[in-house]
Amino acid sequence: MARPPKYSSEQILDAVIEVLRRRGPAEVTIAMVADVLGAPSGSIYHRFPSRDALMASAWLRTGERFQAQLRDALAATDPAGGALAAVDLMLDWARRRPGEAAFFLLYPRGGFTTTEWPPVLSRRAVRLANDITDGLRTFAARVPGISLALARFALLDVPQAAIRRSLISGSALDHEIQGLVEETVQTLLAPTEPVTRMAS
């Protein structure tokens, strides 16, 4: 009877995130991950055939976990409260886990790999993109006058722009940023009166 593997895929991906926190995506190697895990490199290759497959899997898991929380926030009974909860979630993520947030938000799919992703990972990436779009579309449908484009801009683009400098530099996120982002999002998503054009 075959012995169960000593290290699970989840443990290996946790080790990837730890190396990311210390060194950044460009410096991650399977040898470094094995060292953090305390495992031989062969045990990692047994689960992930290449560094690119390992990094892609870590990126997807990070995005899937974060976006599940984001969608839960957007589905709150009160859309206004859900919007603030969603942007606060992103800011808090950048503050508490900056390496992980930077990995997912600053490196688009394929930005850290040199080969084509295997089909199974590519399908997960498509589902990930569709998932957040569906969450934003559902949110926009509950708020009169809000389009999908506006929801995406307010709930993704604005907070990501606000934390980008901090994630790139590795500096602490200024707490004042949170209030500015919340105020901006509330303004963007506030109901507006239709504009009446004057007759010429």
HSE toward the beta carbon, residue 92, CA cutoff 13 A: 10
Mean pLDDT, to the nearest integer, of 44-51?
A: 90
Mean pLDDT, to the nearest integer, of 112-121?
A: 85
Domain 7-48, second-level architecture? Orthogonal Bundle (1.10)
Mean pLDDT, to the nearest integer, of 103-122?
A: 84
Closest CA to 34 of 59, 15, 18, 47: 15
Report the alpha-carbon distance of residue 152 to residue 137 in Å, rounded. Answer: 9
Q: What pLDDT is recorded for position 195?
A: 44
Mean pLDDT, to the nearest integer, of 165-189?
A: 91
Mean pLDDT, to the nearest integer, of 19-44?
A: 88
Q: Does domain 56-189 have CATH number 1.10.357?
A: yes
Please identify which residue in the block is written with the tokens 């990501």: 160
Give the ranges where the chain is alpha helix by DSSP (H).
9-23, 30-37, 41-45, 51-74, 79-96, 98-106, 119-141, 148-152, 158-169, 175-189
The domain limits of the chain are 7-48, 56-189
Q: What percent of the chain has pLDDT over 70?
A: 92
Mean pLDDT, to the nearest integer, of 124-143?
A: 95
192 falls in which pLDDT band (50, 70, 90)? Answer: low
Q: What pLDDT is recorded for position 172?
A: 87
Tens-digit pLDDT profile for residues 83-99: 999 999 999 999 999 88
Which amino acid appears at position 185 of this protein? Answer: V
Residue 126 CA to chain centroid, in angstroms?
A: 14
Q: Report which DSSP code applies to 64.
A: H
Q: What pLDDT is recorded for position 71?
A: 95
